[in-house]
Structure formats: structure tokens, C-alpha cells
Structure 1
Amino acid sequence: MEVYSTFTERKKWAAGAVVIAVVGIIAFWSFSSYNSRRAQIGILPDSTLYTTENYTDIFLDSNVVVNFLNSHQISDSAKVQVSEFYARRNYQFAWLNSQDLNSSVDIFLAQLHNYEFEFDDNSLKNAHFDSLLTIAQQNPKKFLKDKTQAERLELWLTSTFFVYSQKAFGGTVENTLDLEWFIPRKKKNYQTLLDSLVTNSKDLAQQEPVNRYYTALKAKLKQYRTIQKAGGLPKVENLSGSLSLGDSLPGIVSLKKLLYLVNDLRFSDDSPVVNESLLAGIKSYQHRMGLVENGKLDKNTLAELNKPIDERIRQMMVNLERLRWVPVEVESDYLLVNIPEFRLHVFENNKQVWVTNVVVGKEVHKTTIFKGNISQVVFNPYWGIPNSIVQNEILPKIRRDPNYLSRNNMEVVNGYYRQKPGRNNALGQIKFLFPNQYSIYLHDTPSKGLFESNTRAFSHGCIRVKDPKTLAKFVLRNDDSWSEERMDEVLKTNTETQVNVKPTLPVYIAYFTSWVDNTGQLNFRKDIYGLDAKLESDIFGKK
């Protein structure tokens, strides 16, 4: 068998040191420029370590890498990744050794197959790659005797891996700011990812640099894709209103089949009779859609039941794209507001410990998607009235009623309008500050009835919390000086009291219209701000 790392070849490789250096410098410049561009759009660097050990006995010539990249249509970013990958490992082969294909090849091919099925994406297929792979798998030892073929397969595997990783884990959208998403993205290190795959193939967790919410939703996408391939979901017809136990209706069979396919019925049931399991299944479905859980086939429930599975799949893919932008690991303690869900989730030690309803901005006053850090809790707050509200709402009311300010406990201080602390203050009795350029914060409200509405987009952009006192206890749980009793005493007054939060508490204001909750249930919500449509266009336009 021919051994590529012979003394003669290593001398040739050494003699090409200048070429290697130039390639390395070009790769460095290109990669640095690439990173710089990504930093400008809110992508943070990844400091993951990279192995320096040797794991193979054959080597590439740097000129072979350069020639391969120049002669094939591979994205510029992938070319930079390939160049840097081999330069950093002294041009060792990654996927092949002198005897066989490494086990990492089979793992990667399985990942590719799953991706193509789950996302219905064949853009990564390549006839040259497939042909070389087929020959290599049929007779590896014979294949590896042909050095040129082995080099080509090695480089196809690596370049395909980087293109795949960017699509599968980084996302198709480069500039999320255009999509009104201002949570910083952390740049994923695909160099380290590939290094992990080819050196530690058993560590599957290292091979998908995504958060657990992405993994859970992708599993549901696979389930829905299987349903789609089998003919889709049955249509629910000739049914509406309340269903009574014992009713026998033809449309019940289709309804039960649908609910079984989407996991709201535990067991398959071909009977046309309404039973307890069916009514419970309808309520389960309504819960997952954010509907009133009344067990009735009302207009909204029927509309959701009859949405085509293709629409559901596209919605899931849109949100998988968003989840690629979320850090793989977030802080152990944090708050998460999901705008389309109208809910605030509280996490401690990586576990959800509490959930409450919130009111978010109406469409004309959208709540911004970003990350902040709660640094202060304010009891009995003043409300500094935004100038837009003063001009559009307050001043017209003052013109009609000169006593409007005094009747609403408002005042003007140095030209600024504000509402004094009190029971009817628009911010209620508690607000939570996390300094940001969007002037958004969490707060109480005297309008408690809005929390019982099923759709809760009513505010001017800030986020109203149903139970702010419980939230305050959590935020200040590490401050022994703020017991519940002391909070109650302060809240009985009308004196503004500011409490600093140390350490600050991260809060994510996010936008997901499809996700898997902590009980494993797949949820869907309406796209209240119309943000799915733009992202869907970007995703499927680049597929």
C-alpha cells in the first residue's frame, strides 16, 4: 500500500513552507475579515479550544487544498473554514487513514440524511461527492491506494461538513437585525465541531451545537415530516360546537385520527362515538394552540385543526431558524418573555420554576426582541410618560378637560409629564428595570382584567406582569434585607423606593410561534407581529 507521509513527500511539503505560510496568512486575513463582518451584525466570538493532537497517519499538500477550493463551487465562508481547518491541524487527513474510512464518516452521513429528510433540503447533494463515497465504501483499501481519489473525498467531506454546519446550526439568515431580532448571537466554532467529530465520534452531544429547545423542536419536525410523507392530517368536517358524551357522528373518526397523530390522544380510536378521551384530547389540543380550553369545536379551534400540515412544518422551520440564533447554553437563572405566547417564564438552576401571564405591545407598538439584565426593582414607581403618549393622548385630553392631570394624579416637572405613585398609576406598584435603548421594562398594572384575555397585545411596548409581587420576590431572593413583609410595608405607602439587584438577572424578550414546552408538548401561536412571513421568505428563498 502507498503511504502518503513518506520522507520524500514530507520534504516536498517542507519545501512548500512559503506557500503554506501565504495560504495561512490569506486564510487568516479572510477569516478575520469574515469575523469582523459577523461582529458588526451582533454575532459574538466563540472561545472554544481546539485539539493539537495527531489522529491520522496521512497528510495533504497545501496546494491540493488550494486547487480543490479554487476548482469547485463552494461558498467563500466554507472555503475559509476548510483552509483554516487543515492549516491548524498541519494538513492531517481528518476523515480517512491509510487503511479505512473513519467511523466519523458514517456519523456525518447519518446527520446529512436526517437533515435532508427533516428539512426537505437536497441542496447539499453533489454527484462527485456521492460517486467517490460509493466507490470508497465498496472497497476502502483499494480506494485508498489512489491518492488523488482519497484527497478529493477527504476535501469533499470537509467542505460539505462546513456548508452543512452553517445551514443546520448557524442558520440561513446572516443579519437578524433586519428581522427585528436584537438578541446577540454567539458565533459557533465549526472548526472545533469538526475536530470533535473526527477525534471523538462517540460524543454525539458535541456534534450539534444547538440549545435543547432546538433539539426538541427538530424531533417534532421529524414527526410532522413523517405524517406529511404518509398523506398529511385528516380534515375535520361536519363538526362544530359542543360535543356530548355518547354522540355518534361521522366526523368524529377523522377528528380522533388527527388528535392521535399529533399526540393529543394516547391511543388510536376508530369509533365514531364521543368519549371522555376525545373531550380531553380537544382540551389538550386547545392548550397547545393557546386557545380557550373548553373542549368545544368552536371557530378558532376548527381553524387550527384544519391548518395544512405543510403550513405547520413551515412554521416549525421558521422557529428552528430563530432557535439557531439562541446561545447553546444560557445562564442558569434567567427570565424569558415569549411575545406571541403572552407568557413570562422564570428559570432557576436551569429549571422552569414559575410561569405567569403578561401583556405585550400591540402591533403598532411592538415589544422589541432583545436581551437585558434586570438591575433594579422599583416599588411605588413614578411613570415618566413618553412624549409620544403626551402628544397623542394626554394633551388632547387636557384640552377637553383642564382638570385631567390632577384627576389622574399626574404632574409636570421641568417640562416632563409624569404620573405620581398610587393605586391607579399606569405602572401599578412595581416595575423592573433593565436599561436598554428601547425604553422597555416589566411592570405591574391596575388593569388586571386584561390578563384573562386569550390574546394579550394591548400595551405601548412595555410588558405588564400579572403577578409582579411574586416576580419581585424571585428577583430579590438573594437579598436578605427584602423579605415579603418589608415589601408589603413599602407597598402600603406612596413613596417610590428603588432597590438594586445584585447580581443582575438576565431577561430575554423573544419571539417564538412554535416551540416544545417543558412538558414535551409542541405549541403553536399566531404570528401577532407578522415576523414569520419575512423570515419564511428568507429561509425558503435561500433553500
Structure 2
Amino acid sequence: MKKTNALLAFILGCTFLVTSCNKKKDGENVSDNTEVHDHDDAQIPLDTTQFAAFFQKHPDFKQFEGEVSKLYSKHHHYIWHDKGGLIEFADVVHNRVNQLDNEGLEIKVPYKEELNEVFDNPKSKPDTNSELLISSMYFYYTKNVLEGLDKTKSQQTGWYLPRERVDYVAYLDTLMQDPKLIKRDESELFSQYYNLRKGLQKYREIEKKGGWGAIKLDEGVKSLKEGDSAAAIVQIRKRLVLEGYMKNDSGKSVYDSELKEGLKAYEQKHNREFDGKIGPAIVTEMNMPVAQLIKAISINMERCRWISPKMDKAPEVIAVNIPSYRLVYFKKGKPAFTSKVVVGKELNKTVVFSGNMSYLNFAPYWNIPTSILNKEIKPGIAKDPNYLAKHNMEWVGKRVRQKPGGQNSLGKVKFMFPNQNNIYLHDTPAKSLFNQDDRAFSHGCVRVEKARDLAIMITKEDGNWTEAKVDKAMNAGKESTYSLKKKIPVYIAYFTAWADENGNVAFFEDIYKRDERLAGLLYAAK
């Protein structure tokens, strides 16, 4: 990354709460306005021959041996100490490491007691062991908070979005050259990370206050509607107030208009239409323990570590979140267009990856994949010789394709971003599927409810097309292609928790059962 002061800003200002400053050994508070020693005249030579013995004694830090060696090959002297003792920036880093739980990381810091001893009872003269402990602590922090699981492990969870490799030695080197570059900034990680971190604090506070009780519909009651009375109403009301969907808890057991508005807000947050009834599905969802939601937030904070913050600054991005069944077209970081989508069913999971939309295909043919041909089309032909004609299909050599038209499974337009997964966005004639709350039905591609509107928006800005021109192309009955002058990045991601800038979190079903897999990798790796 190019920002010269980014790491310092991140560590000193943004990754933790303002109140997180630790106390120095002499009792003074460490603040974000800390004056770091200008120790060019106080450099102390470092004996690098002791490195091997240090990492042999501290095997949990051995993964950072290469980075530590690279760091001191540039400096050849103590970094965290000068002749006045520990520099104040060392206290700040130590303080951050002691509060990793604020970053959704419930992990045990290696050699924590030994690290604390370095700061609680500093020696009059620095020693190599203390210096290397702090450097290792720094790399431990950047590895866990900024980088997260390595690429091979994130791919084990089905995540194939591109990840950037950051040189944290260069970060620290820049920091030490100009330690006065201190400002608050929240740009080192994808912005959703910071929203989820606010949500993490919110739900931990709810947990401290006792959370919410279990909700149970009375025996024989299938659902509750406005005007009904039930003990369950009291608990639902409390739950909605705790999460911020209602302002006041009247304690009433009657389903009144105030509760209805709170439930409507809850359903809207979760991208669902509220039918006015309280049924088993919403009760089951609301009975999730607070601890389970906290875990979901932490898991999705980890996913945020895998997304480049450059996405926030991209002029335009089309993003699909699989668990929320939503497509959002962002322009300059702000939502400009939203549509429901249908994603791949369990056996045909939609892949998490990215690409660049380069063209639109109007009135497309559907070239049926070999797997579908063998599993569905050929058996259909065997049962009914007129199967192809009935489905507007035809043989092309040894392949089968579906001709353009109203029956075409791709609808009247598809949005292409060439990729090895052969996944794209497309229209569909099966509009009724978008009325379902659970929309994992496709063979892996993403069906877009407002495909026409998306095509109009893209072609209008890219080529000054009119709605009439788009409609003509979509209904021509003949395939045509519109090549984009400017490619649009497309991200297909997987987030089961998503927060707004105020830390209000919406939770979505883990439709591909990936959260537990990630949790196992995450905590096993730490």
C-alpha cells in the first residue's frame, strides 16, 4: 500500500476505541499525541547473533523470524529502545495487543506474561530478548488484525476474491523514519470491518446486561397478528428494543402498532418483506443466543480482512452478497442500485470471486453446460422425444443450447465478466422465485430480479443508451452484444453479518454452512 503514514494512523487511532490508551510505567497516560523519541542520536547497536537463540526459546514467534531479520537488516540497532529506555510507541503497540478482543479475536497472545514484564518492570539497559519480543509482538499484531488467515486457508472456506500482500516491515520502517505522521484514519481495512467492530461492542454490551430470554409461541398457536396477546410478545418487544429496532419497551403483551413497526424495521434490515405475522421462522431466528451473534460478527470481521480497502474508493463496483440474496451497485462508495438475486443451491454453490464486467449479452442463447446436459436434458429427451422443441432448445454439434426468447433460462440479458468458474449475472423468466425469502435455487450463476433496470443503468452511463434501446435489444429475439467502454468490477462475496455505519447488524442464514468451517480454521490457526 502506498500511504506512508497508514500503519501508524491505524494503530494509534482507528483500530481500537478512543478510551483504549494504556498507562506508561511512570503512571502517565499514553495518548494519540504521543511524542516518539527522535533516537537517531541514541541508537544502540543490536547483537543479531542472538536471533536464533531467541526464536528457539520462543517457537510461537518463529513464523515472524524472516520479517524480524529483514527489519533489523535495515537498521542494525534497537528500534523499540533508545538510551532513555522504551520509546512510547512501544507502549502503544503493547496496549493494542492486550486488547485484541476489541478486534473480534478471542486468542491467547503468546508469551503474554513475559511481554507484560518487559513493560511493567523495564530494565535500565535494553536487552536483545526484550527488543525481539516487542518486534515479534508487532508482527503478531499485524498478522492477526490487519492480514488475517493466509490465502490458502481462506480458500478452504470457498473464498477466491483477490487478496493483497502487504509488507509490514516497510510500514514500520516508514514509521520509524517519520514518527510524527500521526492522524486518525480508518482506511487500512475494508470499511465494513469498522462497522462490524461497532456492532461487536454493541452486542457485547447486550450480553453483559443478560441478553434476551427465550421466545416461545403458545401451544397450538401457529402465528400472532396485530391485536393478539401472548407472553411471547413481551420477549419479542425486549429483543427489538435491545437491538435498536424499537426505542421503548412498554412491557405490554399485546401485539400493537408500535411492535408492528419494530418488526417491520427488523425484517427490512434482513432484506425481507414483513407480512404482519409473527411465525415460527422469525421466533427461531430471534432465539439465537447473543453469544452466537457475537461469534458471527467476529467471523465476518475476519472476512473483511481479506478484502482490499481499495474497494471503498472504487468509482463503481457491483457487489453480490450470497447469504443476503442482494446485489448492490456502488458508485463512489454509495449504493446507487439494489436488486434481489437468486444464487446457487447447496449442490451448485455460487463461487466467491471477482471479475470485471466487460460486455452485456442481449437476447442470449443458453449454452447448456455438460453437467446439466447429462443430468437433466438427456434424461428428459429419453422420456420425451419432443423435449427439446418444448423447451425451445436445439442441438449444435454435440452440445445443446436454448434459443433466445421468453422461455430462455437466462432471460433476456446477461452480464458477462469472463472467469474460469463460468459464472455470470443474468435475467430469468422465473420471477416468482424472488418472492421467496430463501433464494438458493440456481445452478451457480446469479439471477437478478431487476436485470432490465441494471442494463439500462449500465448502458446509459457507458454508451448513452435509452430505455427504449435496451428494451429493443432485450426483445429482439436475436442475440446481440454490447461491449463496455469501461469495465465494471464485480465482487461476489459471502457475509453472514453486515453492519451499517452505526453498528446496527443484520444477520443472514449461513446457507453454505461456511461459518463453522471458518471458525475452526480461525481459532485453530491462532
1:314 corresponds to which letter in structure 2?
A: K
- How far is 1:75 from its partner? 2.9
CA, structure 1 residues 518+132, in 2 after alignment: closer, same or farther (shift >3 Å)?
closer
Matched, 1:71 2:57: yes
SS of residue in 2 equivalent to 1:300? helix
Matched, 1:502 2:485: yes
Aligned residues between the structures: 485
Rounded Cα–Cα distance in structure 1 between residues aligned with 2:273 and 2:498: 19
1:128 corresponds to: 114
Rounded Cα–Cα distance in structure 1 between residues aligned with 2:287 and 2:294: 14
- How far is 1:412 from its partner? 1.3
Out of 132, 146, 149, the residue aligned to residue 169 of structure 1 is 146
2:197 corresponds to which letter in structure 1?
A: K
Q: Is the 8 A contact 1:357 1:465 kept in 2?
A: yes
1:139 corresponds to: none
- How far is 1:232 from its partner? 3.2
Task: Note the 1:276-287 alignment, pairs <5 A.
Answer: 276-287=257-268
CA, structure 1 residues 378+277, in 2 after alignment: closer, same or farther (shift >3 Å)?
same
Rounded Cα–Cα distance in structure 1 between residues aligned with 2:264 and 2:414: 35
- How far is 1:539 from its partner? 1.7
1:325 corresponds to: 306
CA, structure 1 residues 218+414, in 2 after alignment: closer, same or farther (shift >3 Å)?
same
- Give the stretch that moved more between structures: 432-441 or 465-474: 465-474
Matched, 1:146 2:122: no
Rounded Cα–Cα distance in structure 2 between residues aligned with 1:300 and 1:284: 16
1:227 corresponds to: 206
1:35 corresponds to: none
- How far is 1:451 from its partner? 1.0
CA, structure 1 residues 119+450, in 2 after alignment: closer, same or farther (shift >3 Å)?
same
Rounded Cα–Cα distance in structure 1 between residues aligned with 2:46 and 2:517: 45
Out of 272, 275, 292, the residue aligned to residue 311 of structure 1 is 292
1:360 corresponds to: 343
Unaligned runs of 5+ in 1: 1-45, 137-142
Q: Is the 8 A contact 1:286 1:301 kept in 2?
A: no
1:373 corresponds to which letter in structure 2?
A: N
2:522 corresponds to: 539
- Give the stretch that moved more between structures: 269-278 or 443-452: 269-278
- How far is 1:250 from its partner? 4.5
Q: Is the 8 A contact 1:405 1:411 kept in 2?
A: yes
Matched, 1:211 2:183: no
Write out per-residue CA displacement over residues 155-180 of structure 1, whole angstroms, 9 at most, x where no aligned residue: 32221111122112211354122222
Rounded Cα–Cα distance in structure 2 between residues aligned with 1:50 and 1:77: 26
Q: Is the 8 A contact 1:319 1:514 kept in 2?
A: yes
Out of 147, 153, 160, the residue aligned to residue 137 of structure 2 is 160
CA, structure 1 residues 510+428, in 2 after alignment: closer, same or farther (shift >3 Å)?
same
SS of residue in 1 equivalent to 2:156? helix
1:77 corresponds to which letter in structure 2?
A: Q
| Percent of aligned positions that are identical | 32
SS of residue in 2 equivalent to 1:185? coil
CA, structure 1 residues 415+195, in 2 after alignment: closer, same or farther (shift >3 Å)?
same
Matched, 1:350 2:329: no
Out of 83, 97, 100, the residue aligned to residue 98 of structure 1 is 83
Write out per-residue CA displacement over residues 121-156 of structure 1, whole angstroms, 9 at most, x where no aligned residue: 3334511111121124xxxxxx4x3233xx544332
Matched, 1:434 2:417: yes
Structure-2-length-normalised TM-score: 0.84
Structure-1-length-normalised TM-score: 0.82
SS of residue in 2 equivalent to 1:527? coil
1:33 corresponds to: none
Rounded Cα–Cα distance in structure 2 between residues aligned with 1:349 and 1:209: 18
Rounded Cα–Cα distance in structure 2 between residues aligned with 1:226 and 1:61: 46
Larger relative CO (CA 8 A, sep 6+): 1 or 2? 2
1:20 corresponds to: none
Rounded Cα–Cα distance in structure 1 between residues aligned with 2:442 and 2:171: 43
2:471 corresponds to which letter in structure 1?
A: D
SS of residue in 2 equivalent to 1:119? coil
SS of residue in 2 equivalent to 1:304? helix
- How far is 1:488 from its partner? 2.3
Rounded Cα–Cα distance in structure 1 between residues aligned with 2:279 and 2:229: 18
2:237 corresponds to which letter in structure 1?
A: K
Matched, 1:107 2:84: no
Task: Note the 1:281-296 alignment, pairs <5 A.
Answer: 281-296=262-277
CA, structure 1 residues 68+473, in 2 after alignment: closer, same or farther (shift >3 Å)?
same
SS of residue in 1 equivalent to 2:337? strand
1:18 corresponds to: none
Rounded Cα–Cα distance in structure 2 between residues aligned with 1:91 and 1:84: 10
CA, structure 1 residues 92+482, in 2 after alignment: closer, same or farther (shift >3 Å)?
farther
Q: Is the 8 A contact 1:50 1:192 kept in 2?
A: no
1:6 corresponds to: none
- Give the stretch that moved more between structures: 356-365 or 182-191: 182-191
Rounded Cα–Cα distance in structure 2 between residues aligned with 1:171 and 1:448: 40
Rounded Cα–Cα distance in structure 1 between residues aligned with 2:162 and 2:457: 25
2:239 corresponds to: 258
1:187 corresponds to: 165
1:244 corresponds to: 226
Task: Note the 1:388-467 alignment, pairs <5 A.
Answer: 388-467=371-450
Q: CA RMSD in A?
A: 2.8
CA, structure 1 residues 421+92, in 2 after alignment: closer, same or farther (shift >3 Å)?
same
Rounded Cα–Cα distance in structure 2 between residues aligned with 1:376 and 1:260: 47
CA, structure 1 residues 393+414, in 2 after alignment: closer, same or farther (shift >3 Å)?
same
1:39 corresponds to: none
Rounded Cα–Cα distance in structure 2 between residues aligned with 1:252 and 1:452: 27
CA, structure 1 residues 258+407, in 2 after alignment: closer, same or farther (shift >3 Å)?
closer
Unaligned runs of 5+ in 2: 7-35
Rounded Cα–Cα distance in structure 2 between residues aligned with 1:193 and 1:221: 28
Rounded Cα–Cα distance in structure 1 between residues aligned with 2:410 and 2:501: 31
SS of residue in 2 equivalent to 1:179? coil
